[in-house]
Chains A and B, each alone.
Chain A
Amino acid sequence: MTNLVLLINIQHMSSKIKQALPELVENGIITEEIAQNIKTYYQKNEASGSSRLFTVFGTLGATLIGLGIILIMAHNWDNFSRLTKVFLAFLPMLIGQVGLGYSIYKNKSNTWKETATVFLFFSVGACISLVSQIYNIPGDLESFLLAWIVLCLPLLYVTKSRSAIILHLVFITYYAFEAGYRFYGHNSTIPHTYFLLLLFPLFSYFKMMRNHVKSSILPILHWLFPLSIIISLPVCIDRSEGVGFLMYMFLFGILYNIGQLSYFKNNSLLQNGYRFLGSLGTVIVLLILSFRYIWKHEFNDVNFYSLEFCCAVILFCIASIALYTSVRSKQEKGVNLFQYVFLIFSVIFMLGLFDDVMPTILINILLFILGVMAIKIGTDSYSFGILNYGMLIIAVLIACRFFDDTIPFELRGLLFVLAGAGFFTANYIMLKKQKSKQQEQ
């Protein structure tokens, strides 16, 4: 949807500029030649823009049709014989295969390839689901999703389709959710299949990043990859749930440090899901751990010879490498504490295995410093968003202490008043600072 809005905005802007050209030429602001050049430039861009628009609509259409077919088949038509149902199950898949084969053979446009890929993806799902429905195959949703994903893996390579990457990511996350979150019963699968499946689209993703492809899909992937891993991490948690906090803290450390790499330096926060999710995730986990109750009860099951701890060690190594790389590639001076939180937390975690008071205090101090750091970053970069994010961290920290009955009421009340006053003062100072800067310019 973002793509669509972006494309429409660009087209709206270019038509406005084109309308203004005769006036600019008339008043002698630009020459006739420059006006012609601008016109040619936008005409070229419009052509590629409208083809992208077609691709977006084609992909959306194929997704809706594919999902529609799955729902129509899920109705289970009693009037049809078994063999008719089998034929109907295979029909959309065969149409999808022929369509995709034709677009590859004739080297059709991207719109064709993306649409055929999406249609084939959903028709394969429809075929497997209808066959298992016809023969009452008892397999659970998890094994059904795995079969579907594996059968559609080659789609990632045959057309270099970007929709295939998105569909793959969405469905492996769904699979991990089914496999890793034990709502009832016991977990009989090897959930690490998720990480193996995650490797397949990485090649195309890195290639797009390395070639600095100007694709509107790339910012979406910068969000989808980290989101998928965040949702799927519980596949690594079996018994030792306390280590889960450690794993998530390392994961957010990885994400934040990836977001700090020089590749992302020109990306806005909205185009940098790694930095956004890494920072927000770190703060949320720390806020949960700022309660003494958690340190008292959640870390009794920590086992160093467990799958979870092994995963935590791997995540720690990756986070350290990401930190080293991002610090080396950093241009601006000064230390950004958000990058080092995972290191500090690992020490606090070790302390937490022996005591519950000291880590609680340390986490609260760490959160407060992070809030102040965010305010400082916001002020330095004249960003109201980051400034208020820092204020919010401190405000939520204080709000969490509202539930701590060990702190007297009057002190808690005073903290709230101070936090509220802080919000007003910081924003007022920032506004004045920004105004004086504008005046200087």
Chain B
Amino acid sequence: MKKSYIYALFGLMVLAQIVASAQIVYKYERTIASNNVYKFKTAPVDPNDPFRGKYITLDYQINSFKTSDESWDDYDVGYAYFSKDENGFAVLETLVKEPYSASKFDYIQVEINNHYDGYIHFDLPLDRYYMEESKAYDAEVLSRELNRNGTTDDIYAVIHIESNIHVLTDVVVNGVSMKDAVAK
């Protein structure tokens, strides 16, 4: 290969590697800066990713939508629209197959799990919250305890949504960030 081609290919690769990661940083920083925050009630468990480390999987309370529409299939893609109640907690307004061209509500794209008993069950995609290695298991233990005491309502995820880009920034337990709640 000619030297000039090698330089061009190398330059393109360097650019692609930087842009690929930098555009993600830009996209999510802009969303966080918008300060459009929703609180989603959730319960965490603790698995492991070989490259990205320990995280807690979030199991959201909002996971189904009542409908008489029978045309939904498993693994379909849907758009869940949310509003906020007076405390900032997310309220599911509707679930549609195609996003509206304009709406006063924000949406999150979801995958449909199944459809039975008049309910469409889905998973919110923001189900991973990465934690420091030593804290992930403690976070799971803490949420299990809260679950036993019947106080899971006290755990919620902080999600920023702006221009239909969403980013999970914190999980709060009893008003304290999960990171601090389990800090030793």
Contacts and interface: CB of A to CB of B under 8 A. Distances in A.
B102 interface: no
B51 to A, nearest CB: 4
Contacts of B6: 104, 157-158
A136 B16 contact: no
Interface in B156-171: 167-169
A75 interface: yes
Given A74-B52, A100-B10, A125-B51, A136 B167 contact: yes
Contact of B9 (A73, A131, A141, A157): A157
Interface in B51-86: 51-55, 74-75
B167 A135 contact: yes
A76 B132 contact: yes
A196 interface: no
Given A136-B130, A157-B9, A76 B51 contact: no
B53 A133 contact: yes
Interface of A is mostly: helix
A137 B24 contact: yes
Interface in A222-237: none
Contacts of B18: 90, 93-94
Interface residues of A, number: 42
A127 B17 contact: yes
A78 B51 contact: no
Interface in A73-122: 73-78, 86, 89-90, 93-94, 97, 100-101, 104
A135 B51 contact: no
A393 interface: no
B179 to A, nearest CB: 5
B132 A78 contact: yes
Contacts of B9: 154, 157-158
Which of B1, B10, B128: most chain A Cβ within 10 A? B10
Interface in A144-164: 144, 147, 151-155, 157-158
B51 A144 contact: yes
Contact of B21 (A74, A89, A152): A89
Given A74-B52, A151-B17, A86 B25 contact: yes
Given A86-B25, A135-B167, A141 B132 contact: no
A70 interface: yes
Given A104-B10, A138-B126, A155-B13, A70 B25 contact: no
A154 B125 contact: no
B79 to A, nearest CB: 17
A97 B128 contact: no
A391 B14 CA distance: 55
B28 interface: yes
Contacts of A136: 55, 126, 128-130, 167-169
Contacts of A267: none
Contacts of A75: 53, 132-133
Nearest to B19: A151
B115 interface: no
Contact of B132 (A77, A128, A130, A153): A77
B138 interface: no
Interface string B1-33: 100001101101110111011101100100000
Given A136-B55, A188-B75, 16 more contacts: A74-B53, A75-B53, A86-B25, A90-B18, A94-B18, A129-B52, A130-B52, A131-B24, A131-B25, A133-B53, A134-B25, A135-B168, A144-B52, A151-B17, A153-B13, A158-B9
Interface of B: 1, 6-7, 9-10, 12-14, 16-18, 20-22, 24-25, 28, 49-55, 74-75, 125-133, 135, 167-169, 179, 183
29 contacts: A74-B50, A75-B132, A76-B53, A76-B54, A90-B18, A124-B17, A131-B21, A131-B24, A132-B52, A133-B53, A133-B55, A133-B130, A134-B130, A135-B24, A135-B28, A135-B167, A137-B128, A138-B128, A141-B49, A141-B50, A141-B51, A144-B51, A151-B20, A154-B10, A154-B12, A157-B9, A158-B13, A186-B74, A186-B75
